Amino acid sequence: AHMLSPDEYGNVSEESWDKHLNSFIKKTLMPEFQRKKIDHLLANDPKRSAARLRTRINRIVDRHQPTNPAVEFDETMTGREFELYCRDVLHEAGWHAALTPGSGDQGADIIAEKDGRRVVVQCKFYNGTVGNKAVQEAYAAAAFQDAPYAVVVTNSVYTKSAHQLAHKNGVLLMHHTDLERLDLIVTSGAGSL
């Protein structure tokens, strides 16, 4: 992917990737074909065979490229837009996620469920640091919603005391860029009350 990134003018050149791919075929694949005594398959038309290898490799690489997320983070969004963004990221990651009405939720912004796991998410879109109050709200909301997992997600950073309180109470502190991997983190046992 970094070999296909645009230059300062926005132009994408495949020259670096093609050079790298040709080197890989020549230095890695061909010796392996010779070792396995199957290089005769390429002998009839080596240029055509190399072109076919490049095409097949490019197809494999394309299949494993991460897709661009449908939802995009924006530094100018409001707190409610950040909650919608977090909900949409969770949807893309396969969670059933719903925003709470806002009043009477006891601090929960999103209730998410996946594979029998129920998670309460407290969203904090801040310019400054996120402190203990967010951890307390997430902890209380998880208890109120009968959810075994409490998460605070932000675009910012957490105070040291927030980290300490979260650790003591089993609340998971996350940056929004890690939200798509919530199921892996929860499966590991993090964020469990």
Span 54-92, pLDDT tens digits: 888 888 876 765 555 556 888 888 988 999 999 999 999
> Inter-axis angle of helices 160-169 and 132-144, to 10 degrees?
20
Which element (helix H / strand E) includes 118?
A: strand 117-124
pLDDT of residue 5: 54
Q: Measure CA of the first residue to CA of the last residue in the chain; give whole Å.
A: 39
b/e burial code for range 172-184 (CB count within 10 A of at least 16 → b): bbbebeebbebbe
Q: Each residue of 33-62: pLDDT tens digit?
A: 888 888 777 777 778 888 888 888 888 876
Q: How far apart are CA 172 and CA 142, in angstroms?
A: 12
pLDDT in tens, 93-132: 999 999 987 655 577 899 999 988 999 999 999 988 999 9
106: left (phi over 0), alpha (psi -120 to 50) or beta: left
Question: Of 191, 79, 180, 187, which Cα lies nearest the Cα of 135?
Answer: 191
pTM score, whole prediction: 0.62
Query: How sure is the predictor about 1, in pLDDT bands with cuts at 50, 70 and 90?
Result: low
